[in-house]
Amino acid sequence: MEPSLYKSKGLLFWIRAARLRTLPLSVSGILAGSGWGVTQGVFQWPIFFSALLTTIFFQVLSNFANDYGDGVKGTDQQGRLGPERLLQHSDAAKSTLKWVLVAFAVLSIASAALTLYLSFGWERQYWLIFMGLTAASIAAAIGYTVGKHAYGYLGLGDIFVFVFFGMLGVWGSAFLYTKIWDPYSLWPLVWVIGMGSVGVLNLNNMRDAQSDALSGKKTLAVRLGPRYMLWYHSFLIISIGLVTLYWVGVQFQNWTLFSLFIPLFFYGKHLKKAWRERTPKSWDGELKTVALSTFFWSLGWFLWSFTAHF
């Protein structure tokens, strides 16, 4: 497509390229960690909204960086399934996209700084730790597809997603309120949000496995192959159900929290369809199901925390 035709798409196309449909999943860790803050009686709305804004900036940065990295490497070929990518249409967007990445990196740092101030004031040790984590988050967002040693091309994306969406998202946001490191009590939240996020990534990689293999992008789905990548996906989804059973039945023993079983129905329905159809097109259609199931699981927990403790 010629650059002039590309530009005619204007702002709307850039908004679509930001892949706003990924935002509900990205905020799931904040909802989960904030719910824990509510149960401990230390929740604060300003911290909550600032943390939400920060994770949204990180996610949009990651989406644009993914677009840039895959586009530069030629991974996004014509005819691929999934959302349109900017550099599929014109190299004229490359320089603009670089500035967009810089802008969202700056916005992420500024928003993170505001969150830290609201939570910790000017306490130096907390700033050093969390600004280091902010830098690591930005590096991870960009490093998934950008650079000679992009970890997404090495099959390490699943690990990074679990660390940043699950561990950092839940433990980090909970610490903003409680100022207490309590990994044992929070591990079911970390597991569900982390595995749900990895499930979305793996489903995306299952969909693109054929084109990724041709372009040298060795995601874990590519490395596992057509058969085992679906077994791996089943482990991710089933483990969410098992941990939810533990979280509700053993750790909380509260019947009102059984609302968390509702997303499990949609997880199960998704897994049945993933095995029955086994086509990239059907897997693409199931991305929304897994992402929203994870989001509504975290939202259900967040809302329950208010009803149970106020």
Domain edges within the chain = 3-304
Please give the residue that has the higher pLDDT: either 44 or 87: 44
- Identify the pLDDT of residue 205: 92
Residue 112 has pLDDT above 80, yes or no: yes
Half-sphere exposure of 188 (CA within 13 A, CB side): 19
3 state SS of 150: coil
CA dihedral 218→219→224→228, nearest 10 degrees, is -150
Q: Give the burial class of 108: count Cβ atoms within 10 A of its Cβ; 0-12 exposed, 13-18 middle, 19 or more buried.
A: buried
DSSP 70-115: HHHHT-S-TT-SSS--GGGT-TTHHHHHHHHHHHHHHHHHHHHHHH
Q: Give the global pTM.
A: 0.89
Q: Which residue has the tokens 């509260």?
A: 254
Q: Are 64 and 145 in contact (CB under 8 A)?
A: no
146 DSSP 8-state letter: S
pLDDT confidence tier of residue 91, bands split at 50, 70 and 90: low
Tell me how far apart the alpha carbons of residues 42 and 220 are, in angstroms, rounded to a whole number: 40
Q: Which residues contact 29 (CB under 8 A, 6 or more apart)?
A: 55, 165, 166, 168, 169, 170, 172, 173, 193, 197, 298
- Identify the pLDDT of residue 175: 97
pLDDT confidence tier of residue 1, bands split at 50, 70 and 90: very low
- Identify the pLDDT of residue 266: 96
